[in-house]
Amino acid sequence: MDRLLYGVAYYDEYMPYERLQQDIEMMKAAGINVVRIAESTWSTYEPQKGVFNFSSVDRVLDAMHEAGIRVIVGTPTYAVPAWLVKEYPDVLAETPRGRGKYGPRQIMDITHPAYLYYGERIIRKLLERVKDHPAVIGYQTDNETKHYHTAGPNVQLQFVKYLREKFGSLDEINRRFGLDYWSNRVDSWEDFPSVIGTINGSLGAEFAKFQRKLVTDFLAWQVGIVNEYKRPDQFVTQNFDFEWRGYSYGVQPDVDHFEAARPFDVVAVDIYHPSQDQLTGAEISFCGDMARSMAGGGNYLVMETQAQGFPQWVPYPGQLRLQAFSHLASGAKMVSYWHWHSIHNSFETYWKGLLSHDFQPNRVYREAQTIGRDFERLSDRLADLKITNRVAMLVSNESLTALDWFPIPGGKIKYNDIVRRMYDALYKMNVGVDFIHPGSEDLERYKLIVVPALYAAPDELLHRLNAYAAGGGHVVYTFKSGFADECLKVRTSVQPGIIGEACGIGYSLFVEPNGVALKGEPFGVGRDGHGIESWMELIQPTTAEVLAYYDHPYWGGYAAITRNRYGEGVAYYIGCMAGEAVMAGLLEQAVKEAGLWGKDQELRFPLIVKSGVNRHGRVIRYVLNYSGEAATVDYPHADAVELLSGRTVRTGERVTAEPWGVLILEEQGKD
């Protein structure tokens, strides 16, 4: 792992005919230096209970090793064999929609002892087989693990025990969850109903948290097994994924990423995103920032990303390169495609790989060859990029779940939409972001913390945020923040509760906007950008300055956006779902006020600039042109070498980024 990795997922098991040597030759021609194998094909390795056949693993390891290609071995537990389900049908998770049916992956009860018993056995058998192989550099446990909504009677039983452990008594639960409502009290543990039907958001959200804990526990259990086998030079990782909206969109609802990532040596993620005319790089940046943050600021692996992907994703010329370097620019040390070849049968036949079903070199493959060459050539300058940000975004699984239980009217705006509204605005003004979570310490590392819809949060966190502001920090909150405690109980104080102090505001009423805009044209957004959506809080400032009022015949006296000096710091509050332009204008003001506005921020999307420091202590600056038009920049930093071309670029010199093009500038100086 001393160098940049460029990889693919490789499935010898799915090949329609013998191709191994041919494939390896094509890989080498494309600079592929790592493959991931084995994570999907339990039934091939154990075709009958206790009958093992690792021949496809053996031969791939040997051949890869011979070719100098490294291998990451996945444990094959995320898709269960037919024989296991036939013998133990309740291995399939019972969810709110009933018991699953055999066929798809990721349908099992991850707490079921038959699954765990046979899962452990196949893991151990596989690891015994591969652990000493020189090709193996690491392991992936399972794949895109989630809880699959397992909620059957056995899971309910575990949940009740979890509740007792956590809350101590039914009285406490009844009180904190408000179970008197609609006669939902439970006054004897035996009476605890399955929460599948519950209408109590506090209970439902606690169950979701419990389900996320099942994922954390399951992964830690697998890591424990792998750790018994792995060599010191090997790592163990997991391929985390994100909220899926046809592509990687936002915070993963079903996993507590920060908790689940702890036991791993390295964080890996998969990142899929719109392409062609819809390619913006925002998902590459968002997911990369999340992975890097999960890794405590370290580098991460992009275990899966698209090569051709879906018909609507086949990259335009230049895009595959742009994507690959964008991953590096966010701190990735591996970029690996899912997958090498397009599969000829079953569910993902149209989720295409680097090669089409015909295995012929194609336009996309040929572009990959250039990437492989450049990764190889520039590995020493680009690997181990150290990225340090002064802006953080505080995200919260609890708030995400809470807003699923208490949705914003209209159903259009969910938690991750608010996250992305803020994130994308920062991304487009080239402000680098770390993610933090309710348990994060050291808030003071950041000059500015942006906080989307922190709906459900303990008092402690909110007091800590107030203290952060008082101590000189800058905070930007959106609507819905501070509203409820960690049990989703709405605070009994004037809203937004505790943070109202730092924000210098209060409100008792909130309404749904219907064609409402902000008065005037705040932040110079013009007539097109000042409309608001879905939610408006009728804010009354106490000490805050009003940055925008609502334009409404009856609610025009209430504030929409406020700013408040608090101690040494500043707290902003956005009381409505503002449009992109308003969000951008406000965040620009906040970034400037926090003293974080520099020359790169003067550039804007589609020109994305990202920077860090390489292993040689030099600043590496990526200029990424997310556009089909060439773009010119008057380079504002210290003299640098543009690494792809090898050309020196002087301060103030005009440089051109080609359509969908990349420049990589290494500042010169001490080495």
Residues numbered 70 to 129 that lie near its own copies (CB under 8 A) are: 76, 79-83, 85-86, 100-105
The correct pick among 491, 519, 565, 637 for binding its own copies (CB under 8 A) is: 491
CA distance 424 to 284: 11
Which one, 48 or 169, has the nearer CB to its own copies?
48
**Is residue 144 annotated as part of the catalytic site, yes or no?**
yes
Which one, 45 or 249, has the nearer CB to its own copies?
45
The correct pick among 33, 44, 330, 625 for binding its own copies (CB under 8 A) is: 44
**Shortest Å, Cβ 511 to its own copies:** 5
Binding segment (CB under 8 A) for its own copies, from list 42-50, 460-468, 588-596, 635-643:
42-50
The correct pick among 5, 23, 24, 42 for binding its own copies (CB under 8 A) is: 42
The correct pick among 35, 215, 314, 465 for binding its own copies (CB under 8 A) is: 314
CA distance 241 to 260: 12
Report the run of H or E that residue 173 belongs to, with start and end. Answer: helix 170-177
CA distance 350 to 339: 12
**Shortest Å, Cβ 562 to its own copies:** 18
Which one, 78 or 566, has the nearer CB to its own copies?
78
CA distance 71 to 140: 11
Q: What is the number of other CB atoms lying within 10 angstroms of the CB of residue 614?
A: 17
- Residue 55 interacting with its own copies (CB under 8 A): no
The correct pick among 3, 13, 298, 636 for binding its own copies (CB under 8 A) is: 13
**Shortest Å, Cβ 506 to its own copies:** 8
Residues numbered 537 to 596 that lie near its own copies (CB under 8 A) are: 553-554
Which one, 57 or 266, has the nearer CB to its own copies?
57
Which one, 11 or 264, has the nearer CB to its own copies?
11
Sign of CA dihedral 303, 308, 314, 319: positive
User: How many positions of this chain bind its own copies (CB under 8 A)?
Assistant: 97
Q: Could you give the maximum distance between any two Cα atoms of the chain, in Å?
A: 76
For the chain, counts of helices (H) and of strands (E): 18, 33
Query: Would you say 462 and 482 are in contact if contact means Cβ atoms under 8 Å apart?
Result: yes
**Shortest Å, Cβ 330 to its own copies:** 26
> Taking CA 43 as the corner, what is the angle to CA 102 and CA 140, rounded to the nearest 5 degrees?
100
What would the DSSP string read from start to end of 221-272? HHHHHHHHH--TT-EEE-EE--EESSSEEE--TTS-HHHHTTT-SS-EEEE-
Report the run of H or E that residue 625 belongs to, with start and end. Answer: strand 619-625
In this structure, what DSSP letter does residue 606 have?
T
The correct pick among 50, 232, 311, 526 for binding its own copies (CB under 8 A) is: 311
End-to-end CA distance of the chain: 22
Catalytic residue among 206, 259, 304, 666: 304
- Residue 22 interacting with its own copies (CB under 8 A): no
Which one, 358 or 441, has the nearer CB to its own copies?
358
- Residue 16 interacting with its own copies (CB under 8 A): yes
**Shortest Å, Cβ 367 to its own copies:** 12
Query: Which stretches does DSSP call E strand in 362-499?
Result: 391-394, 433-436, 448-451, 474-478
**Shortest Å, Cβ 490 to its own copies:** 4
Q: What is the number of other CB atoms lying within 10 angstroms of the CB of residue 238?
A: 28
**Is residue 568 annotated as part of the catalytic site, yes or no?**
no
- Residue 276 interacting with its own copies (CB under 8 A): yes
Retrieve residue 608's tokens: 């994305």
Which among 50, 43, 42, 72 has a CA at the least distance from the CA of 60? 72
Residues numbered 433 to 472 that lie near its own copies (CB under 8 A) are: none
Which one, 493 or 651, has the nearer CB to its own copies?
493
The correct pick among 10, 177, 235, 423 for binding its own copies (CB under 8 A) is: 177
Residues numbered 622 to 641 that lie near its own copies (CB under 8 A) are: 628
Does the annotation place 351 within a ligand binding site? no
**Shortest Å, Cβ 441 to its own copies:** 30
- Residue 648 interacting with its own copies (CB under 8 A): no
The amino acid occupying position 599 is K
Which one, 13 or 551, has the nearer CB to its own copies?
13
**Shortest Å, Cβ 146 to its own copies:** 16
What would the DSSP string read from start to end of 66-115? HHT-EEEEEP-TTS--HHHHHH-GGGBPEETTEE--SSSSS-B-TT-HHH
Does the annotation place 397 within a ligand binding site? no
Query: Which stretches does DSSP call E strand in 516-597?
Result: 517-518, 532-537, 540-541, 545-551, 559-566, 569-574, 576-578
Which one, 102 or 162, has the nearer CB to its own copies?
102
Does the annotation place 313 within a ligand binding site? yes
Residues numbered 280 to 309 that lie near its own copies (CB under 8 A) are: 308
Catalytic residue among 39, 46, 94, 144: 144
CA distance 155 to 662: 50
Query: Would you say 307 and 366 are in contact if contact means Cβ atoms under 8 Å apart?
Result: no
The correct pick among 492, 527, 670, 671 for binding its own copies (CB under 8 A) is: 492
The correct pick among 21, 48, 169, 632 for binding its own copies (CB under 8 A) is: 48
- Residue 409 interacting with its own copies (CB under 8 A): yes
Sign of CA dihedral 346, 347, 349, 354: negative
- Residue 164 interacting with its own copies (CB under 8 A): no
CA distance 209 to 339: 33
Length of the chain: 671
CA distance 285 to 610: 10
Binding map of its own copies across residues 586-625, x = CB under 8 A, - = no contact: ----------------------------------------
Residues numbered 496 to 535 that lie near its own copies (CB under 8 A) are: 508-512, 514, 535
CA distance 242 to 253: 8
CA distance 195 to 210: 12
Residues numbered 185 to 214 that lie near its own copies (CB under 8 A) are: 185-188, 190-202
CA distance 201 to 293: 29
Which one, 51 or 442, has the nearer CB to its own copies?
51
**Shortest Å, Cβ 240 to its own copies:** 19
Residues numbered 339 to 398 that lie near its own copies (CB under 8 A) are: 342-350, 356-360, 362-364
Annotated binding site: 105, 143, 313
The residues annotated as belonging to the active site are: 144, 304
Annotated binding site for substrate: 105, 143, 313
